[in-house]
Amino acid sequence: MHIKVKKVIIVAGLVILCVHFTLLLMYSFKKDKYSFFYMYPYFHQNWNVFVPPPSSNYNLYAVYENSGLQRTDIFTEIVTAHQANRFAGKESFVLALSNSIHYFETEKNPDVSGNNFKMIKSFVKNYLEGTRSCVLKNLKLILVVKSTGSTAPRVYTN
Give 52-57's long-range contacts (Cβ < 8 A, gap of 24+): 53/148, 54/98, 54/148, 55/147, 55/148, 55/149, 56/102, 56/105, 56/145, 56/146, 56/147, 56/148, 57/145, 57/146, 57/148
The answer on 14 and 90 residing in a single domain is no
Range(s) of the domain holding residue 31: 2-43
The answer on 78 and 19 residing in a single domain is no
pLDDT, one tens digit for every residue, the chain (158 residues)? 688 999 999 999 999 999 888 877 777 776 666 677 777 767 766 666 677 777 889 999 999 988 888 899 999 999 999 999 888 888 889 999 999 998 898 888 888 888 889 999 999 999 999 998 888 878 999 999 998 888 889 999 98
The answer on 91 and 121 residing in a single domain is yes
Determine the distance from the C-alpha atom of residue 152 to the mean position of all C-alpha atoms in its chain, rounded to a whole number: 24
Residue 90 lies in a domain: yes
